[in-house]
Structure 1
């Protein structure tokens, strides 16, 4: 019945979209072309035989898309959440993702900034500014994008220096929570062949979203400064070289989790909170020390520390495109140097039970070379090579004074070398039918050294009140060690057909294989098993779809369906076979996923200035039977962070209002269904569905020289769970929640 309802929903949505496509057309009206680089060259989105969503610079600006998680507002079947507020994003596309918080690992979606791959989760918590667009590619992109793209890829494209003339922009925003943002840009053509572009932004938030009753003060303040300098040189028509240097620094107090207890001292013999058996949280239940948080406010608590976050990062990218006479050479060189550290209170209580200071240093080099050309009128080809070297050093200091009577320290040192060769070709079988194929061979080697020490400053470590009974508990060592290496060679491929039966219509079908490499987890270690390596995962995708734009350009829509065969899935597993539970990354077997993506944009000819966009994602996921270290888990669980339904909508209306002025009003919203947070489908930390609405009103001259705007995000102050960790076997757990309602005004001046 569940599958029948799902299929019925797909059919109904497809019929509705098809009916919209039959709206009457008016002559002479053509929508702007949406250009993407999903296949490593500029193409109309109508010519790309895969599911791509492009978020333009106008949408990024008008909807205040400021960070990674907000991309999901405009893209169906995408879920992006943070493991901790302001920190590492968990990116899931069509149910495929990695629910991890270790900086030594990569997400299942490849993240690229100006074609440079980001090798660590720690590099992905950044703010957006001066972007040309964001592209979201759904489905495995192993041929052109390589390793770690089983879910898809997200490309961030910076606005480049141009030769159209000098221009500048200055924008100031003030919002609630005493937040000030200032952003500026200057584009300067120095000569006919050389241009500069400078961009900068700062965010100063002096009042946080959270209130710490322990210190009677708001927490969650932000202090972020970032800047970008680019130099573009076009010595002739055959060469285009762009050098970009990015830098940012953050010194902030991040958000804190909301506590829930796992113990009830009136319920012997185990003193376990009775509501947990029903998958519910009882706010009267406590931790081992009798603490409970019963005020029902997810944004307040009695935390023992202020979670602090420091970051510094420099990115250097050199991109050159050279016309060699019928063949185009593209070179992309990248270097990243980043440091991160933060102090986090994982027990979310006044006790010093689980507090950590993780640190991360990342140094990454990468180089990609591509040659592309045509062989006759019917065949175009691309051949390339890629190499990267990543060195990630992580450290952690743990404070478990009240829970284990100890403190821990540790480090991990991981070096990854990866090389790949790839080919991609498109052959026109007929004037309307094109055969597409691609192949990529990837080699990767990881060496890993990790140590976690039980510093034991108070004497013998023990788990205080593990069973909530009086008396001493057995000695426990919170330590582990490993020296390991893994070496993998994998093949990714794609085969597909594109059919254009008439103008502005594309039907496509493809089958492709993507790979995510294996690796090591660095986290809270209780024994050497904590560092066991996890194996590569793979995904074979079957996808078919249609894209169409009406003759007048008023309606652009796409419908796609997919089926995934997902193997050796990497996710968190919980080891409950020892006195102290251990969470680590492992492989849990296979899964099947299937679903649909439906997107439509309508600009009615009868109402100039109105744009309507909708997106619908439908998803079914089923995890096969797998053996967790605590026992056998039967077939049928959902994958983590895989909502069955996602929906987004946008309405934008812009019109002259007299006196040389124009006005704009925009409303956008998103719905996401309920999700589980782990492969075990633990109901305690599951997230209910939610709906968010945002709005913006603006006025300015028709010349665009200035604009004044008022905006609001999460207008109805919706509260939903972002992430959760169930440690009730230790007496507690915690949850993270979304940002509350924010609003403010923005004044922008353009020169």
Structure 2
């Protein structure tokens, strides 16, 4: 039976929640006249209306804007150290963040694919993963929903959804804002500020700005003799609010920014025998035999060679893990702007909401994928991304017994790609010698997406302590893909790639998704829930370089059926909050990168088969005293490919093996996060605040591991990261000085290990120990 793996954790949660209910009943019988310590109520809008996190049967984490700033969370991937059972991967170290939730995550790393964890910025869906980090400043909060959200949120939410909610102007709040400035390791400078003010009796505006710059960071080219890693980012936002009457509220937002940062230098990984090679190509060579340590499952050694037959010592790569043999700087040149218009009108017991948005992004990511001195595999990804959307929804909240939401959404996005691969030495001229030995390959395409959806959400309180929740959504999406590839030569001439000179494809995808849930309140402060939900991720077209028109055959939509049980509780007169969940996922037609077979194999996105995942989570917040708070988040996930007839090998040169029975990559089975927060007066006017947190992740496969010999190279052992911060703040919360350290123990761990697509491999390590000193001035 498919739900067998859910039975034991579900039973444990049921027994635990029952015990909690009894404990709470006993707790409430003994009242105390003393002033009580209570955990604050956390409000979210994850179900399109204002609710407490403790009142909804969804695994949701909400982090307030001040806490995000205190913890230095300004990128989507930073959330992974605060929430259990989520992880991240950024395949070239910047510009393309992937979030993996409960083992479900995007396995294709091109901008024309949609994420599995959907990002909504101020209720506007972000159609591609490149824009996930663009608005992480001056926030009200971030809400992270785990599990498929196919009802209210729709397509491409099979692992979850993230709501990024900006701080909004307030007509009744006068002039307010803050200035936040910081310095840190590698000359990092952060400047952030916001000011909101009333313009008239019924209108207000808020302006927000952020800038991050740095010197060269920890990356060094040993062959080019330069340091690398400068950060150069800025972003701005203006929100205008107008309330012409008590029943009508209007918001207009404009935002823009740039990211011209240098991305990490990749570090080559030797897997070949230094010696025998194929024929020289432009004075370069290519090794063909795997070294013994790789074949025997011991991983790479200093004597294993790169694709050019050099070893680590030849490029002085011993020692510092951030050294690279690359002589070509990798960088981003990204700019974006957009606007949105929201209007909400209340009449009788109804609210009609309209959200209109348009966004534009120029995206460029240049990366030296070979990470060695020769021009072997250097890629210049250039994309122009435009999107707009319109949503209308009608909500009814006029009854204590039931409420509902009906909505319709239409969206379009357009991606124009103009990318190039450069390799004057190595496989590119060798593989296409019959075509004159080209030194570059160019890819030009346009992908258009049109999506229409209609949805409904309803809740019915059938008993005072029993609530039924239902969601249903129908989505129809059409994608078109047109383009060509061409080969470039040293003399400046070019020719179309045979068979890929005029591609015109179109594919439609439609699906019905939704959820059915029951929520049961054991007592005022304890609720349990059970849900069944269905989600889907649209299919599409592979956006990478291909060598035949057949490789552009569209992949189908992915489906997920999710079963979840959980509980939420506030105990010990609300000094303790304990929440838990257990889940089982049945995924079909899973989209994942795999290697095709044939004369010219290519790694691309396809439907590999079925995946099952199961796991559990436990979240604890406990007010130990007026000064001390403990937070513990635990997570377990096991995600396995259960049915597939495909074969693959991640390490170039290894025999291809069946992928059925292997784990999906880029997640840890066990995650644990613990933090202690301290707050106390040191004088009558000043407070001392301190925080220490530690996050642990068990081993994880950095790529698909199909055979035991690959494990030593592709599996990263478990590790833990410690962070600390201490702040001094005045009683009125006007002035605040904070000193913080991330990766306090300077833990060494890899975040990426991948095949570069031309038989070489590279790796990246996580950030070293860094420090920051910040000053915040708030005014009201």
What is the aligned partner in structure 1 of residue 697 from structure 2? 672
- Aligned counterparts, 1:377-392, within 5 A: 377-392=400-415
Cα separation, 2, equivalents of 1:91 and 1:80: 5
What is the aligned partner in structure 1 of residue 301 from structure 2? 282
Secondary structure of the 1:658 match is coil
Please give the per-residue CA displacement for 1:546-574, whole angstroms capped at 9, x wherever unaligned: 10112622111111111111110001011
What is the aligned partner in structure 2 of residue 523 from structure 1? 544
> Which shifted more, 526-535 or 15-24?
15-24
- Aligned counterparts, 1:113-132, within 5 A: 113-126=121-134, 128-132=136-140
Cα separation, 2, equivalents of 1:198 and 1:93: 33
Secondary structure of the 2:425 match is helix
Quote the offset at 1:109 in angstroms: 1.0
Change (3 A) 1:12 1:371: closer
Equivalent residues of 1:559, 1:596 under 8 A apart: yes
What is the aligned partner in structure 2 of residue 353 from structure 1? 376
Are 2:443 and 1:410 aligned? yes
> Which shifted more, 25-34 or 204-213?
25-34
Gaps of 5+ in 2: 278-286, 430-438, 649-655
> Which shifted more, 614-623 or 372-381?
372-381
What is the aligned partner in structure 1 of residue 360 from structure 2? 337
Cα separation, 2, equivalents of 1:513 and 1:104: 24
Cα separation, 1, equivalents of 2:218 and 2:11: 42
Please give the per-residue CA displacement for 1:166-210, whole angstroms capped at 9, x wherever unaligned: 112111100011111111111111222111111101111112220
What is the aligned partner in structure 2 of residue 420 from structure 1? 453
What is the aligned partner in structure 1 of residue 143 from structure 2? 135
Cα separation, 1, equivalents of 2:83 and 2:402: 33
What is the aligned partner in structure 1 of residue 260 from structure 2? 251
What is the aligned partner in structure 2 of residue 510 from structure 1? 531
Secondary structure of the 2:539 match is coil
Equivalent residues of 1:570, 1:585 under 8 A apart: yes
Counterpart selection for 1:623 from 617, 641, 647: 641
Secondary structure of the 1:651 match is strand
Secondary structure of the 2:294 match is helix
What is the aligned partner in structure 2 of residue 56 from structure 1? 64
Counterpart selection for 1:740 from 746, 749, 768: 768
Quote the offset at 1:532 in angstroms: 2.3
Secondary structure of the 1:653 match is strand
Cα separation, 1, equivalents of 2:74 and 2:668: 23
Quote the offset at 1:160 in angstroms: 0.6
Cα separation, 2, equivalents of 1:109 and 1:391: 20
What is the aligned partner in structure 2 of residue 464 from structure 1? none
Cα separation, 2, equivalents of 1:205 and 1:638: 38
What is the aligned partner in structure 1 of residue 651 from structure 2? none
Equivalent residues of 2:647, 2:658 under 8 A apart: no
Cα separation, 2, equivalents of 1:38 and 1:435: 17
Gaps of 5+ in 1: 462-475
Quote the offset at 1:34 in angstroms: 0.4
Counterpart selection for 1:435 from 435, 452, 468: 468
Equivalent residues of 2:6, 2:614 under 8 A apart: no
What is the aligned partner in structure 1 of residue 289 from structure 2? 271
Equivalent residues of 1:68, 1:127 under 8 A apart: no
Task: State the TM-score, normalized to the length of structure 2.
Answer: 0.89
Quote the offset at 1:58 in angstroms: 2.9
Please give the per-residue CA displacement for 1:704-737, whole angstroms capped at 9, x wherever unaligned: 1111111111111112221221359x55200122
Are 2:509 and 1:484 aligned? no
Please give the per-residue CA displacement for 1:297-340, whole angstroms capped at 9, x wherever unaligned: 33111102000211110121212211022111111111111011
Cα separation, 2, equivalents of 1:15 and 1:348: 54
Secondary structure of the 1:135 match is strand
Change (3 A) 1:296 1:273: farther
What is the aligned partner in structure 2 of residue 702 from structure 1? 731
Quote the offset at 1:17 in angstroms: 9.5
Cα separation, 1, equivalents of 2:502 and 2:218: 39
Cα separation, 2, equivalents of 1:632 and 1:266: 27
Change (3 A) 1:306 1:170: same
Change (3 A) 1:46 1:356: same
What is the aligned partner in structure 1 of residue 208 from structure 2? 199
Are 2:145 and 1:145 aligned? no
Equivalent residues of 1:195, 1:233 under 8 A apart: yes
Cα separation, 1, equivalents of 2:35 and 2:244: 39
| Count of aligned positions | 731
Are 2:356 and 1:364 aligned? no
Equivalent residues of 2:102, 2:637 under 8 A apart: yes
Counterpart selection for 2:686 from 649, 656, 661: 661
